[in-house]
Amino acid sequence: MLEIKDLHKRFGDTVALDGVSLTAAPGEVVGFVGANGAGKTTTMRIAMGVLAADSGRIVYNGAPLDVEARRRFGYMPSERGLYPKMKTAEQIAYFGELHGMSRAEAKRSAAALLEQLNLTERSGDFVQDLSLGNQQRVQLAVSLVHDPEALILDEPFSGLDPLAVDVMGTALKDRAAAGAPVIFSSHQLDLIERLCDSVVIIGNGTIIAAGSVEELKAKEVKQLRVSVQTAQDLSASLPGTVTRDGDDYLVEDADDQEVLRIAAAAGRVTHFAYDQPTIAEIFREAVTR
Amino acid sequence: MSAQTPETRAPETSRMRGLMLVAGREIRVRGLSKANLVSLIVTVVIVGVLAALPTILGGGDDEAEKIGLAGTNASAMEGQLNAMGGFDITMYDSADEAERAVEDGTVDTAVADGTLYSEENPDQSLQAQLDAAWQAATVQTNLADAGLSDAEIATALTPRPLETVTLAEGESDPVTSYFTGLVISIIMFMMLMTPVQYIAMGVVEEKSSRIVEILLTSLKPWQLLGGKVIGLGVISLVNLVAMVAVGLGVSAATGVLADLPPGTASAAVSTIGWWLIALVLFGTLAGGVGSLVSRQEESGSVLTPLIMSLTLSYIGAIFTLNAPTSTFAQVLSIVPPFSAITMPTRMAITTVPAWEIALSIALLVLAAAGALALGAQLYKRSVLYTGSRLKLTEALRRAA
């Protein structure tokens, strides 16, 4: 269990974080969403010990997160960085060793990741000679080389091609399935929706919404969408607030069973369900509120 | 979880391991880089050629000088020249024959009846030797004419040479000492300048590429900085050892080695000691100031004070060579950071009182400890800060 508790951080007069808390249970994939400048990167950097918080704590499996435990974490910072004049395989293996692997283990793991990322034939090339996309894949390999037991990834999908997105998505799911807590931020909300068990939305340094994907969707549900094959206009006869969306009726603040009865009386009901908002809609709603 | 096995390792070991991993990377990536290997090979070749140069240039000296002798004193001359060694002597019956032998090149030089025959002007050392032999031979002949026995003549001609008593112990030839001091100052300067620049470059590289953010999740700042200093120190030392080994190897092979002044080995060892302390001093400061900037172009400006003090130390050392007993030299060789280069240089050229050496070492070690603390603090506080250049005071005020 990785717990981020009540982080506060100021940069000069700017309040970057104002009591940010979030948790990731073992095996849970947490999506961290927020506008630019909302505090995602600051939170993650503090969690990884790269930045010191003014107050607040990071607790991992019940104990304060220290350097030794952090070494077993996988981290991808938002600003990507690699040694330009170091060979690809050598570089990935070096980071494996820094994370406590033996040289042989690190080499083996690096080779396996390069294979997975279709980069085997570039193993001996300098990183600076790779395309930007391939450098991103190397960056990904660097964060996964030591088989991390927890992942904190800042925008891991940005700049990745579809293949690398799949590899990354699979890697996150695999690590979570092995019991690792995973926190990642992204602006690609469709990916969040597909991969995450829960979502945390941050705005202006405070958490504005958090919960499992289902919970959040359920909380936002308001509209009942009804499709009826009829020549009549039911706008006036249906209870509650009724709006039209094409041929559909969107009903709010009404007893759904009564709506169904009236609709069924008017004609054949082809669609009758509450609209499930997408994470994108929830996010927009949460941020503008 | 499987990844937990490394945890069983003692933290102490992993701390050292982190330091060594960083140092190892520097050595692999920078030391084995094409640029370094090429420059090392070029330097080694130059050193090798320089070491072989005396032999190549003076190659003719090894060949015996062909001398023709005739006329008065010829046999006495032969005896003298044989005693000196290095001559290939041919005896002729007359001065004419000897002269002809010079003309047709059978011999290089001929001496007959008090005349020296030579195709061109004979070189000075040869002429001096022949002169000496001629005079000795003449004296010998005269003494024999005066009726002395061969034994009496031999005694008369071999006076006991002057015995040299050196009053100040260990004081060696001033020219050799000067040269040793010069070499020490140049090597110290080079061996500090290069790693200082590479350390700063390496720090800026990691900072500008933002890789430092990943590194610091598994390393402490001191490991990252210390590993760099160690790694570049090792590279410098290996480069130097390669140069010295080739230089000494070639010298030994060509037989010049015996000419090395006594005490060279001990001077080399003590110089390495001075260098190690100075490397900690300048290296950690270079890392600290390097972390103040985010772009490679800006690293020059923050390094200027360090480069300046290194250059001043070198100039001070050269001054010391020329006035080793002056107060200025005395002060400079005690005050850090100048003492790092000035003191070993001064020690090479003159006898320095033990208390001065001890004081100098103590102050330099103190300064190195201070630099280590300051450099590490600067580094820790500013390595993750990106943006425009940090002022020194800003960096120190920043929370780590």
Q: Does B6 touch chain A (CB under 8 A)?
A: yes
State the nearest Cα–Cα gap between A69 and chain B, in angstroms: 8
Residue pair B306/B393 in contact (Cβ under 8 Å)? The answer is no
Whether residue A97 and residue B21 make contact (CB cut-off 8 A), yes or no, is: yes
State the nearest Cα–Cα gap between A143 and chain B, in angstroms: 9
Residues of chain A positioned with their CB less than 8 A from the CB of B204: none
Q: Are residues B91 and B229 in the same domain?
A: no
Number of domains comprising chain B: 2
- The CATH number of domain A2-217 is 1.20.1440.230: no
pLDDT of residue B262: 66
Whether residue B211 and residue A101 make contact (CB cut-off 8 A), yes or no, is: no
At B109 the three-state DSSP class reads strand
Q: Are residues B90 and B45 in the same domain?
A: no
Q: Are residues B177 and B268 in the same domain?
A: yes
Is B232 among the domain residues? yes
Q: Are residues B45 and B68 in the same domain?
A: no
At A270 the three-state DSSP class reads strand
Residue pair A127/A152 in contact (Cβ under 8 Å)? The answer is no
Supply the ipTM of this predicted assembly. 0.77
Q: Which of A68, A82, A147 sits opposite B2 (nearest CB)?
A: A147
Span A121-150, pLDDT tens digits: 998 999 989 888 888 889 889 988 998 999
Is B264 among the domain residues? yes
In DSSP notation, B120-138 reads SPPPHHHHHHHHHHHHHHH
Q: Are residues B69 and B43 in the same domain?
A: no
B160: buried, middle or exposed (CB in 10 Å: 19+, 13-18, 0-12)? exposed
Is B365 among the domain residues? yes
Q: Does B4 touch chain A (CB under 8 A)?
A: yes
pLDDT of residue B8: 44
Beta-carbon count within 10 A of B5 CB = 13
Q: Does B3 touch chain A (CB under 8 A)?
A: yes
Residue of A nearest to B212 (CA): A81
Q: Are residues B378 and B264 in the same domain?
A: yes
Q: Give the domain range for residue B110.
A: 64-157
Span A258-281, pLDDT tens digits: 888 888 888 899 988 888 777 777
Q: Are residues B74 and B48 in the same domain?
A: no
Domain ranges in chain A are 2-217, 221-276
Whether residue B209 and residue A81 make contact (CB cut-off 8 A), yes or no, is: yes
CATH number at residue B150: 3.40.190.10
State the nearest Cα–Cα gap between B173 and chain A, in angstroms: 49
Q: What is the pLDDT along chain B (400 residues), one digit of tens a residue?
A: 344 444 444 455 577 888 899 999 999 888 888 888 898 899 888 888 887 777 777 654 556 778 888 887 788 888 878 877 778 888 888 888 888 888 888 888 888 888 888 887 777 778 888 888 888 888 888 888 888 877 777 777 777 767 666 555 445 567 777 888 888 888 889 889 989 999 999 898 888 888 888 888 888 888 888 999 999 999 998 988 888 888 788 877 776 666 666 667 777 788 888 999 999 999 999 998 888 887 888 888 888 999 999 999 999 999 988 888 888 889 988 998 899 999 988 888 888 888 999 999 999 999 999 998 888 888 888 777 665 666 777 767 665 4
Residue B226 contacts by C-beta under 8 Å, 6 or more apart in sequence?
Answer: B19, B22, B23, B284
Q: Are residues B187 and B244 in the same domain?
A: yes
Comparing A36 with B383, the larger pLDDT belongs to A36
In DSSP notation, B14-56 reads HHHHHHHHHHHHHIIIIITSHHHHHHHHHHHHHHHHHHHHHHH
Residues of chain B positioned with their CB less than 8 A from the CB of A147: 2-3
Is B8 among the domain residues? no
Confidence band for A88, pLDDT divided at 50, 70 and 90: very high
Residue pair A80/B214 in contact (Cβ under 8 Å)? The answer is no
Total residues belonging to chain A: 289
Whether residue B217 and residue A70 make contact (CB cut-off 8 A), yes or no, is: yes
Residues of chain A positioned with their CB less than 8 A from the CB of B6: 71-72, 99-101
Residue B61's identity, in one-letter code, is D
Residue of B nearest to A145 (CA): B3
Contacting B with CB below 8 Å, chain A residues are: 45, 48-52, 67-68, 70-73, 75-77, 79-86, 90, 94-95, 97-101, 142-143, 146-149, 178-180
Confidence band for A26, pLDDT divided at 50, 70 and 90: very high
Q: Are residues B148 and B182 in the same domain?
A: no
State the nearest Cα–Cα gap between B220 and chain A, in angstroms: 8
Is B59 among the domain residues? no
State the nearest Cα–Cα gap between B8 and chain A, in angstroms: 11
Q: Are residues B371 and B268 in the same domain?
A: yes
Whether residue B217 and residue A81 make contact (CB cut-off 8 A), yes or no, is: no
| B129, B157, B185 - which closes a domain | B157
Whether residue A72 and residue B7 make contact (CB cut-off 8 A), yes or no, is: yes
Whether residue A72 and residue B4 make contact (CB cut-off 8 A), yes or no, is: yes
State the nearest Cα–Cα gap between B292 and chain A, in angstroms: 17
